[in-house]
Copies of this chain bind each other. A is one copy, B any other.
Amino acid sequence: MNYSKQRETMMRILRGSKTHPTAQEIYAEMRKNDPKISLGTVYRNLAQLTEKGSVVRIDTKHECVHYDGCTDPHYHFICDSCGKVYDLDIEPIDMDKRVEEDFDCKVSGHSLIFYGICSSCRNSSN
Q: Mark A76-93, 1 if CB is under 8 A from B, else 0.
A: 010110000010111001
Q: What band does the interface of chain A fall in when counting residues whose beta carbon is under 8 Å from B?
A: 35 or more
Q: Are B79 and A90 in contact (CB under 8 A)?
A: no
Q: Are B119 and A115 in contact (CB under 8 A)?
A: no
Among the stretches A5-13, A15-23, A32-40, A99-107, the one at the interface with B is: A99-107
Interface residues of A (CB under 8 A from B): 57, 59-61, 77, 79-80, 86, 88-90, 93, 95-96, 98-100, 102-119, 122
Task: State the Cβ distance, A38 to closest chain B Cβ, in Å.
Answer: 23
Q: In the complex this chain forms, how many copies of it are found?
A: 2
Q: Are A111 and B106 in contact (CB under 8 A)?
A: no
A119 to B110, CA, bound (A): 17
Q: Are B116 and A108 in contact (CB under 8 A)?
A: yes
**In the complex, chain B residues whose CB is within 8 Å of the CB of A90:** 95, 98-99, 102
Q: Are A99 and B77 in contact (CB under 8 A)?
A: yes
Choice from B88, B105, B115 contacting A111 with Cβ under 8 Å: B115
**In the complex, chain B residues whose CB is within 8 Å of the CB of A57:** 61
Q: Provided the pairs A106-B122, A122-B105 are in contact, do residues A96 and B114 lie with their beta carbons within 8 angstroms?
A: yes
